[in-house]
Amino acid sequence: MTSVHQVAENQLMLLQNGTAFFPQLCADIDAAQHSIYLETYIFAADETGRMVADALQRAAARGVMVRLLLDGFGSAELPQYWVNELRMAGIEVQWFRREVSPFTLRRSRKRRLLRLHRKLAMMDGEVAFVGGINIINDIPEYGDFTVPRLDYAVRVQGAVTGEIHAAMRRLWGVVSWVNFRKRGKEIRRFVLEKEEHAVAPGITFLLRDNLRHRRDIERAYLKAITGAQREIIIANAYFLPGRIFRRALNQAVRRGVRIVLLLQGKVEYRLQHYATHALYEQLLAMGVEIYEYQASYLHAKVAVVDGQWATVGSSNIDPFSLLLAREANLAIKDAGFAGELRASLLAAIDNDAVRIGNEYGGTGNFFGRLVARFSYGMVRLLIGMLGYRRRGS
C-alpha cells in the first residue's frame, strides 16, 4: 500500500509503475473541476492511452479546460484521428516541435532535437504528478515481458504545486506562440516573466531547459553526491555522465560512501545502452557497484542519498537529458519518502537484477567492449556535431 508523506506543507505519494500511476492519474482527472494540464513525451494509441484519453474527454464534457502537450517525436505515432477526436471533445492539443528529421544534424538545425521529455500533470492547480512514466501500456508489447517497466512518479499536493502549475502554463504559452505566431510581447511575457513562487522547505521542483535552467538537475545531483556520507543509490535507464559527475562519484567512494547503480539490463535503444557499457570498467575500478535490471525494461530516473534525499523525475543522466531535452524532477529531503524509494530499489536489485563483476573488463569480453567504445564515441560525436560539447562532458 502506498504511503502518503507529509513534507512541510506538501503531501507526497510515491507511485511505482503504471499499475499504480494510471488509476490515480485518471481518478484525479475525474475529480478536476476547473483545469487540467498534461505534458508527456509518449502518448500511445493503446489501452492505456485510451483510458487516459477517455478521462480527459469526460473532464472536457464537464466544462473543465483541458490542455494536452505532446512531444512531436515521442508521440509521432499517435494517429491523427485520435488527435481529432480529442479536439472534437473540446480538448486543446498542441505539439512540441513536431518537425523532426534524423538526417538534419547540422548545428543550425540542432534545435530540432530539443525534445519535451518531461512527464507532468496538473489538476486545478492543486494536484500534480511529476515522474518518468509515459502514457503507454505498462508492460512492453515488444519482447517476452510479463512484468511492467520499472518506473516511478510522485503525486504531490501543497505549496510546490504552484511552481509546477506556473511552469506548465508558461511552456503552454510559449508553444502557443511558436505554433500560432502570436504577438512578440506575449512570448516575452511567458519566457521572461519573473519566477516568484512559494518556497516549499524540503522539496524542490527542478527544471532543465535552454534558458534559465540549463544545469539545475545536474547541479542538484552533484550537490547531493558531494554531501553524501554513507550511501548513494541511482537507478537510471540511460547512465552516461560526464567527467565532472564521474569525478564526484569517485570522490564519494574515496570518502567511504557506498555507491550502487541500477542500470538497464535489456537492450531497448542500442546506442545509449552500449555507450553506457563503455564506462563500466572505470566505474568498477572506482569501487562502484553496478547491477543490471532483468525483469523488464528499466525506465526509472531516480536516486536516494543517505536515506534522506531523493529525486524522482524524467531526467536521465546522459547528454540527451542533461544538454538537450526539457526535463522535470522533484528533489525531496525526507527520511520517510527516501526510505520508501530506497526499499523499492533494493527489492528490485535483490529480486530482479544481476551484479556486474570485474570480469567485465576481461579479455573474453573484447568484442563487447569494442562495441561499447564505438557507441560511446558515436554519442560524443553526435553531441559535438550539435555544438553541445562542453568542458567536463
Residue numbers annotated as active site: 117, 119, 124, 299, 301, 306
Instruction: At 330, give phi and psi (nearest 5°).
Output: -105, 135
Residue with cell 528499466: 298
Residue with cell 484521428: 81
Report whether 43 contacts 71 (CB < 8 A): no
Residues 166/111/301/45 CA torsion (nearest 10 deg): 80
Helix H or strand E encompassing 131: strand 127-131
Residue with cell 511552456: 171
Q: How far is CA 304 from CA 201, 234, 344, in A?
A: 18, 7, 11
Q: Going by DSSP bridges, is the β-strand pair 10-16/4-7 parallel, antiparallel, or unpaired?
A: antiparallel
Minimal CA–CA distance to 24: which of 132, 126, 154?
Answer: 154
CA gap 206, 219 in Å, rounded: 10
Minimal CA–CA distance to 321: which of 236, 244, 204?
Answer: 236
| CA 293-2-231 angle, 5° bins | 50
Q: Going by DSSP bridges, is the β-strand pair 119-123/127-131 parallel, antiparallel, or unpaired?
A: antiparallel
DSSP of 300-335, one letter per residue? -EEEEETTTEEEEES--BSHIIIIISBEEEEEEE-H
- CB-based contacts of 325: which residues, under 8 Å, 6+ apart? 114, 115, 116, 117, 118, 208, 315
